[in-house]
Amino acid sequence: RLRWIRTVDAQLFVVARSQPDTAEELRRRQVRSALALAVGAGGLAASLRMDHASPWFPMAALAVAVVWAGGAWWSGRLHLGRILVDGRLERPIIQPIVLGLALAAVFVAGALLTLRIPALAAQVRDVLGFAQSGSIALLTVTTLLSGIAEELFFRGGLYAAIPRPHQLWLSTVLYVVATVLTGNVMLAFAAAVLGLVTGLQRRATGGVLAPI
């Protein structure tokens, strides 16, 4: 228990490390990230506007995931990140999982509250309609891969393409903008919360493992 508390405490501070891009690498990363952002955001909007019963939705969602992951890889080198635990740098695993479970609980509570507001409940049902119309196993795999790909891009390649000290707020804003294009207000709100939390994880650990 003491070790876990120390891990959480260490996570509150940025572990100093130097992984700067050269000016040329930064410009290349910015151009490539901008292109991937444009294509991925368009694909995300198109996929979530498809008919719930469309058999093409999983393929469309996976295609968007390929764009995010490909954009992250294309942008340049990425780092897994580390946190300081008992004077040693270790990969962040336990603390991000605990934080993720807590965030999931917040979203579940929020979902129960939005059911009382007809307009917001309709937005939530619109997204969940994809789960009700297709294979839950296929949707689970698609969601998992999409989540990993989004973090690789938004908290990886795109985050690194933004000059300091604007990385946290600008990467979050761009994540929200990409989600707003789907036309779903609840997804955009979730993106704002999730983007901020995972952005803080990215800033604190210096890598993409904790956000994923």
Residue that wins the pLDDT comparison between 157 and 128: 157
Q: Dump pLDDT digits (tens) for 168-185.
A: 999 999 999 999 999 888
Query: Best-predicted range by mean pLDDT among 38-47, 85-94, 109-118, 177-186?
Result: 38-47
CB 136 within 8 A of CB 1: no
CB 121 within 8 A of CB 115: yes
**Is 8's pLDDT higher than 50?**
no
What would the two tokens of residue 87 be? 């004077």
**Is 186's pLDDT higher than 80?**
yes
Residue 51 pLDDT? 85
Mean pLDDT, the chain, integer: 87
Residue that wins the pLDDT comparison between 67 and 85: 67
Question: In this prediction, what percent of the chain has a pLDDT beyond 90?
Answer: 57
**Is 90's pLDDT higher than 80?**
yes
Across residues 189-194, what is the average pLDDT? 93
What would the two tokens of residue 30 be? 């910015």
The answer for residues whose C-beta is within 8 angstroms of residue 75's C-beta and 6 or more apart is 28, 29, 32, 33, 36, 153, 156, 157, 158, 160, 161
User: How would residue 105 be classed by pLDDT, with cut points 50, 70 and 90?
Assistant: very high
Across residues 42-61, what is the average pLDDT? 89
13: left (phi over 0), alpha (psi -120 to 50) or beta: beta
